[in-house]
Structure 1
Amino acid sequence: MTLTYAAVDQWRAAGEARDAAAAVAALTEDVRLISPITEQFEFRGRAQLGQLLEVALGAIDSITYTDQVAQGTTVALFYEGTIGGTRIHEAQRLRLTPDGLISEITLYVRPLPALTRLMSRLGPELARRNGQPGLARVIPLTAGMLHSMADTGERRFMPRAAPR
C-alpha cells in the first residue's frame, strides 16, 4: 500500500478555511492532540478534537500554511497567521496511520505573546463547553496577566537585548 497525504491536504485546506468539520474528517477515531499550552492533559478522539477545533479556528483570525515536510508517516506543517492582531507561527507534527489518516498531532506555537493570547481566547470557551462557567470567568484574568507580561516583555524589553 502506498501512503498518500490526502488527509494532510484536507487538514491544511480545512485550517485555512477555518472549517472544523472538514478538519475532523481527516482524523482517526482515536486521534490525540498534544497541546502547546499545557502538559496537564491531551485531547483525545474526534469528539474532543472537534470541539477544540471549533473554538481554535474561531479564535485564530487567519491561517496560511507555508511549508510541509514529510518522511513516511510523519508530516511537519508550518503556518503563519494572526490572533487578535498578534502574529502567530505554528508548527504541527502529524503522525499518520498506514492508510494516511492523522492519528496524532503535536503543536508548537511562537512567539510567546501569540501563545498567551491563544490561551486567553481558547480557555474560557473550552471551560464553558465543559460545564465550568466559574472557571470560564477566571481564565481570562490569569491568562490576561500572562499575556500582558509576555507582550510587554516582547515589545519593550526584548528589543533592548537585540544584537548590535
Structure 2
Amino acid sequence: MLDKVLGGLVWSGGMDAVEELRAAGERGDAEAVAGLLADDVVFHSPLTDRVTFEGRDEVVALHRDIFAVLEDVRTSAPLEHGDSYAFSFRARVRGAELEAMNLVRLDEQGLIAELTVFVRPLPSLATLFANLPPRVSARRRGPVVGGLVACLAVPLAFAFRTADRLAPRFL
C-alpha cells in the first residue's frame, strides 16, 4: 500500500484498515469488518483474559454480538506506532456510557492480525459484561448456557452500578 500525505502528515497504507474498522464500528457493520481481518486474527476480550476469539469467522460473529449491544459508537483518530494502531471509542450499552481503547496490530498484508480492547468505567464494563457474554454464550453454547451466564453477570452489573452511585459520597 502506498503512503498518502494528508495536510503534511504521513498516513501509511496500513492506516486504511484501521480507518475502515473505525467506520464499520460507527455503522455497526460486522460484515465490513470481515474484509479487514487476517484468517488467523485473534481478539483479546476486555472482559476476561481467560477467553480469546480466534479466526475470522469467530471474530466477525463476535462483532455482530458487540454491535447488537452497543449503541451510538463514536471513534477517535488513531495513533500509529510501527504495525500497531490505537484508537478510542465511546458508546452506550443499556444507557450506560462507556469509553474504550482499541489496540490493533496489522500483519504484512495490512490485515488486522490482533485486536485488544480495554473498557472503562467499571460500572459500564459491568453492564457490558451483563449483556455481551450471555449473548455470545447463547450463540456458541445454546440458550440455556446463555441464560446461566446472564444469571451470573447481571447481579455484578447491578452491584457495580450501585457502588458507583454510593461510593463517591464516602471519598
TM-score range, shorter chain: over 0.9
Select 2:111's aligned residue among 101, 104, 120: 101
The code of the aligned residue for 2:96 comes to T
Q: Give the match's secondary structure for 2:77.
A: strand
Question: Do the aligned residues in 2 keep the contact of 1:75 with 1:95 (CA within 8 Å)?
Answer: yes
Q: Give the match's secondary structure for 1:67.
A: coil
Question: Do the aligned residues in 1 keep the contact of 2:86 with 2:102 (CA within 8 Å)?
Answer: yes
CA RMSD across the alignment? 1.4
Between stretches 123-132 and 102-111, larger displacement belongs to 123-132
Structure 1 residue 137 displacement after superposition: 1.1
Alignment partners' CA distance in 2, 1:135 and 1:9? 36
Q: Give the match's secondary structure for 1:142.
A: helix
Q: Where does structure 2 lack aligned partners over 5 or more consecutive residues?
A: 3-11
The equivalent residue for 1:69 is 79
Question: Do the aligned residues in 1 keep the contact of 2:138 with 2:147 (CA within 8 Å)?
Answer: no
The equivalent residue for 1:92 is 102
Between stretches 95-104 and 73-82, larger displacement belongs to 95-104
Q: Give the match's secondary structure for 1:47.
A: helix
Select 1:119's aligned residue among 129, 132, 135: 129
Select 1:49's aligned residue among 47, 59, 64: 59
Select 1:26's aligned residue among 33, 36, 43: 36
Q: Where does structure 1 lack aligned partners over 5 or more consecutive residues?
A: none
Between stretches 14-23 and 61-70, larger displacement belongs to 61-70
Select 1:160's aligned residue among 156, 161, 170: 170
Structure 1 residue 40 displacement after superposition: 1.3
Alignment partners' CA distance in 2, 1:8 and 1:67? 10
The equivalent residue for 2:17 is 7
Ranges of 4+ aligned residues in structure 1 off by more than 4 Å: none
* Number of aligned residue pairs: 161
Tell me the TM-score normalised to structure 2 length.
Answer: 0.89
Alignment partners' CA distance in 2, 1:129 and 1:117? 19
Structure 1 residue 159 displacement after superposition: 4.4
Q: Which has the higher contact order (CA 8 A, sep 6+)?
A: 1
The equivalent residue for 1:148 is 158
Structure 1 residue 62 displacement after superposition: 1.4
